Amino acid sequence: MKRYDLRPLKENFYKRMVQLINSDIKDGENAIILFEIGDFTAVQKSADIVKKNNWTLMNSLKFNEVDWTIVVKKSIPQQKIVDTSS
């Protein structure tokens, strides 16, 4: 599990979050991402990005008055199951 503080990026943290998870997190490993919430738009957008990338949002919580934390599990690529019973 690795922790990334993206609060200095303000509302421009999305691209960096994806880069870090793709390059620095192994399949099956978790990442803790800290970011500023502003008007709460970042909370929904970060959840949408997690879903779009087929990762798992393990937790999402308000850290303090201005910061939000999400825990993301980088999904292990699924093997295609071939039905050979026919």
SS3 (DSSP) at 15: helix
Among 3.90.15.10, 3.30.110.40, 3.10.20.30, 3.40.1160.10, name the CATH number for the domain at 2-73: 3.30.110.40
The region that residue 54 occupies, defined by phi over 0 for left and psi between -120 and 50 for alpha, beta otherwise, is left
Q: Please write the tens of the pLDDT for every residue from 9-67.
A: 999 999 999 999 999 999 999 999 999 998 889 999 999 999 999 999 999 999 898 99
Q: Please write the tens of the pLDDT for every residue from 65-79.
A: 899 999 999 987 665
Tokens of 63: 């850290």
Residue type, 56: T
b (16+ CB within 10 A) / e for 26-57 = eeeebbebebbbeeeebbeebeebbeeeebee
Domain ranges of the chain: 2-73
